[in-house]
Amino acid sequence: MKLIFKIISCLILFCFLIPLAVSAAGTYNATAVDKKGKPIPGDSGTACYEGIVPCGKCVSLGGSLDEKTKKCAGGEKRFIPCSMCHAFIILHDAVNFFIFSIVLPVAALMVVIGGLLFLVGGTNPGYITWANSILYNTFLGLFIIFGAFILVGTFLSLIGVAQWTGLGTNQWFSINCAIKFIGTNIPCY
């Protein structure tokens, strides 16, 4: 019975995450360089990509991202090969998705469940203890997750890969490493 519950839970989680992951999109700055590594004037700008992987495919160079539809608009389609900086971009997007799209809603649900157990518990000490445990573990988990997020973001800022963007947005750090690609004429369709 426990195995069936685990399988069903995994399937539900998988079915929930796949549509969200497919709708992922983002932007980063890219600069075209020649074979000697010198920038090519007029051949750089914001690269807009759709999906989880931001490289190794045609992206919209000079385009913008529509936040509602998660689609790129405008710009010239260019092939940008993968570099080490793209690994930081993928990791950044995955962490932001996990924290802001999964952790916060689940934590809010757990706080509601803990509060309801307090209300329903009344004179039953088992419910009160259970509610205390749920709330304590929820806030401890949030503290650990956001603490680790801040520590890793600070480390990435110190090595020059990330930049603090403030608390007002849904991403506290932005990746600002330079994406350089050799100006190519690989056709994009």
| Dist CA 57 CA 78 (whole Å) | 8
Could you tell me the pTM of the whole model?
A: 0.68
3-31 pLDDT, tens digit per residue, is 776 777 667 666 666 655 555 677 777 77
50, 31 contact by CB (below 8 A)? no
Whole-number Cα distances in Å, 111 to 44, 131, 135, 140 = 47, 9, 6, 12
Report the pLDDT value the prediction gives residue 189, as an integer from 0 to 100: 64
Report the pLDDT value the prediction gives residue 140, as an integer from 0 to 100: 95
Report the pLDDT value the prediction gives residue 143, as an integer from 0 to 100: 95
User: Which residues of the chain are under the pLDDT cut of 50?
Assistant: none
Whose tokens are 């539900």? That residue is: 12
Q: Is 117 exposed, middle or buried (0-12, 13-18, 19+ CB in 10 A)?
A: buried
73-89 pLDDT, tens digit per residue, is 887 787 777 878 788 78
Report the pLDDT value the prediction gives residue 111, as an integer from 0 to 100: 92
| Dist CA 1 CA 187 (whole Å) | 54
Report the pLDDT value the prediction gives residue 138, as an integer from 0 to 100: 94
Report the pLDDT value the prediction gives residue 23, as an integer from 0 to 100: 58
| Dist CA 37 CA 83 (whole Å) | 14
Pairing of strands 179-182, 39-50: unpaired
178, 84 contact by CB (below 8 A)? no
